[in-house]
Structure 1
Amino acid sequence: MSEAPLAAIRSLPSWLLGRAAARGRSLVAGALAVEGVKMWSHVVLCAVRDLAPVAQADLGRSVGLDPKDLVGVLNELQSAGLVVREPDPNDRRKNAVSLTTDGERLLERCERAAREANDALLAPLTAGERDRFTALLAKISGTDR
């Protein structure tokens, strides 16, 4: 056997992307854990900040989280005093979610930690390579629009 084990698999872009994604998730999850935050909580906090006040159903759709799972995340965030759920001003039958001041502060720390983790992930690349790599990932993922 002259080739390295799994050479065919390890040369596939999909395999390489998966490995890079796993490493990136691990770095970000570790950085967020220092703040006591899980990945999905970070995603939900970011979405609430960007969309608030946002109906729970709209929030779930925006982040692609199952409604039952979203309720669990929101319950944890609300118990921690990071978000509030109040009647939606546009439809009082629905709840609208907003960040609290503590939620905003925590999110700022989490975003800084996530940026630092991503910097560590991309450390082998030059600034130009980082920009190009990020643009290519956005293109592949269909989020470059």
Structure 2
Amino acid sequence: MRRLSSLPTRLLSLAAMQSDRRVTEGLATADARKWHFAVLATLDESGPASQAQLSERTGIFRSDIVAVVNELAGRGQVERAPNPADRRQNVISLTARGRRQLATLDGLLAEAEDDVLAPLSPAERAELVRLLTAIVRPHE
């Protein structure tokens, strides 16, 4: 078992599975999913966007972004409006209800991260973020 327990890629996979499970469970308590958070956070940080722009900014496939936006619009967390520059396109905006939901999700994600990263000190957490960023960036 030493071979398995010392493979960095396996350890990354195990950590990702644990983290994903905890985040999914946490968001579910607010009737939300990771994609909901991604769209709400992107709109909050970048402002109104077309569905194509949201797809690019979040990494959610264009075929899936429509369903996510439909769900969020149905909950009153985002709203669609025709793009004045191109009537064939919709512009998606964050609503006040969406901002409140995002604040809730931020808190739930912070709890999940604290749970997953509990064995690490603040300095180790910062180092982990630095190392993961170094791994992820070249492959984006």
Which amino acid in the other structure matches residue 83 of structure 1? V
Which amino acid in the other structure matches residue 53 of structure 1? P
Which amino acid in the other structure matches residue 76 of structure 1? E
| TM-score, scaled relative to structure 2 | 0.92
Number of the residue aligned with 2:48: 53
**Runs of 4+, deviation exceeding 4 Å:** none
Number of the residue aligned with 2:6: 11
- The one of 131, 134, 137 aligned to 2:129: 134
Which amino acid in the other structure matches residue 108 of structure 1? A
- RMSD of the alignment, in Å? 1.4
- The one of 11, 15, 20 aligned to 1:20: 15
Consecutive unaligned residues in structure 1, runs of 5 or more:
none
Q: Percent identity?
A: 37
Q: Give deviations 1:32-59, integer Å, cap 9, x for gaps.
A: 1111101111111111222221011111
Number of the residue aligned with 2:94: 99
Alpha-carbon distance, 1:85 to partner: 0.8
Number of the residue aligned with 2:105: 110
Alpha-carbon distance, 1:86 to partner: 0.6
Specify the SS of the correspondent of 2:31.
coil
Specify the SS of the correspondent of 1:142.
helix
Structure 2 residue 51 is the aligned partner of structure 1 residue 74 = no
Which amino acid in the other structure matches residue 116 of structure 1? E
Specify the SS of the correspondent of 1:125.
coil
In 2: Cα distance, 1:73 partner to 1:100 partner: 15
In 1: Cα distance, 2:22 partner to 2:134 partner: 23
Aligned residues: 138
Alpha-carbon distance, 1:71 to partner: 0.4
Specify the SS of the correspondent of 1:108.
helix
Consecutive unaligned residues in structure 2, runs of 5 or more:
none
